[in-house]
Structure formats: C-alpha cells, structure tokens
Structure 1
Amino acid sequence: MTTSISRPSASASCDGSVRELYERHHGPLLRYTCGLLRGDRQRAEDFVQETLLRAWLSTEEQPPGWSPSRAWLFRVAHNLVIDWMRREQARPEYHPELLEAHAEPVDPIGQAVQRCFLVHALSRLSPAHREVLFYVYVLGWTGPDAAHALSIPPGTVKSRTHHAIRELRRRHPEHALVAA
C-alpha cells in the first residue's frame, strides 16, 4: 500500500524554490538541530525534514512568491525539537533492574495470613459491597466501568465502595489492609 502526500499546487518554479530552500537552509538547520539534540544526527535529520516539509506545505497558504525566512525555519525547527523533548521528559524511563534491587523480599507466610484475613473480612460484608470492592480493587476497574458492569449508577459504586471500606476499618482498625 502506497501513501502519498497531496502537494500544494506546484509549478516548476515552486519545485525550484523548494530545491533552493533545501540547498540554502538544510546545512544550517541540521547543525542547529544537531546541537539542540547533543549530536543525535539521525534525529536532527528527521526534524530538518519535518521543518522543510512544513515550509513547503505552508507555501500554499501564503501569497504568491512567499518564501519562509531563515528565522521562521529555525523557529519551526526549534519548536519541533522542544516539543519532542517535553514529550520525552513526560515519559519516565523504565529501569526494571532498579525495581528488582529495591523490591521488598517476598514473605509467603505473611501473604497467606493477609489473604486469609482479607477473605474472612470480606465475607462479613454484604454481597453488594463485596462485589463493588472486587471490581474496583481486585480488577482495578474505574468507577464508571464497574457501574456499567454491575448495571448500577456510578454514584452507587462510589457510595458502596466508601461504605465497604469504612465497615472494614471499623471492624478491623488494627489491620494494615484497611488503614487510611
């Protein structure tokens, strides 16, 4: 399957101006973006290509004879790089080896005791409260999703969850599973 980009209404002079734009600004834009990216030339090439593509596509929206200025091109390239950097910073890096190094040791006996306690504590709740806790905490569903699955209003899910946890805390204030 071939994907094509619809070009602005291009004449031979438009193609020539795009070629001239590339030849005049490719090198300086590449050096600038490569500097912003601390030497990542391959990524810098991508940003220069995107910048020149945007310049080419914007010629259709401008009056005849318009050509993007050097400052405009550098601003577009700068904004593309900064937007990418912000997106990258928003995604934390995942290091599983750090998680394993700081993981708490597994205590199978303690886990078994907690499971027994939890089963016993939950058995003392009403079926409606148990069901809501199951969907929200065991399955990890959102309130609206649990409400849809249970055919009840979302407010009822919130209310039942609140009352179930309050009841668990009231009956077992000493246990960590029901602490605030």
Structure 2
Amino acid sequence: MNADHSTVLRALHDGHAEALWRYAVRLTGDEQLAEDVVQEALLRAWRNPGILEQGCAASKAWLYTVARNFAIDECRSARARWEVGSARLPERARSDHTDRTLDAWLIADALSQLKPEHRVVIVRAYYRGESVAELAKILDVPPGTVRSRMHYGLRALRLALEENGVTGR
C-alpha cells in the first residue's frame, strides 16, 4: 500500500466512519453489529484501492452500499437467526478440581496395570515430555522399540480405562 492510498483511506475513515456507524445502527438496531458493518466496509475499501480513486462522493456512496449489503447479509445469516442476545453475561463456572482428581486416579490405576516397559515410556513421554530419541538413549533401546512400546502401551492403557468404565470423550 502506498502512502497516497493510506492517506485517502484515512481520510475516508475520518470523514465517514461515524456517520456510517449511525446508518448501520439504524439498519441493524445493534451497536455491536454496526461496528462490524463499518469495519467490514472500510476493510473492503482498503482491499479495493480503485474505489478510493473515484473521488469522495463515489467512495461515500460505495461505502454505504457495502454497509447496507453486509448488514442485510448478516441479518439473514443462520447465526443471526439462531443466536440469542443477552444483556447479562452467564455465570462463570467455578473451578472444581473433583473431575480432574477423579481422572488422575483413573489414569494412575490404569497405568499401574501396564507392563513396566510400557508404563515407563508413556509416563516419561507424556508427563515428562521426553522425545523418542531421548527415551531410546536413556533406556538404551532403539527408537523403533520405544515407538513400539508406546503404541502397545497406549493400546493397553485405553483397554484398561475402558474396563474401568471410561469411554472416549
């Protein structure tokens, strides 16, 4: 974008954004949506530099047309038909560590049912963040063996969790 383009776009914004916003509020009845409409109209002007070269009156008419069409499209969209606005924010969920604690117990129990060679690669990879190469060096086994133990260990872990009534989420 050249400096002249930027200057013209800034002038277009400074000269028309406030009036365009009031127009969009009248169209939509929603101040937040009106802000989105103005932003989209100005973004489209920025993407179409030829519009800016047509002069102030033509650019203004083009902006209002874009704003009107965008507002209509937004009001017709599925999101507008199914969203329900609310003046109040919903209550924030309070932090409850019960689920996390129960999950940890279930996983610890399932891990205890694994063969030691499977358990060690899973714990070190997932809880300590060690890579396959690091594990291969530490355990003095080839990387393929680490991957194999990880595969069969995760499979056994999934089976142990399913036996304890845990299903995939």
Give the TM-score of the pair, scaled to structure 1: 0.42
**Greater relative contact order structure (CA < 8 Å, 6+ sep):** 2
Give the TM-score of the pair, scaled to structure 2: 0.43
Give the number of the structure whose residues are more often helix, by fraction: 2
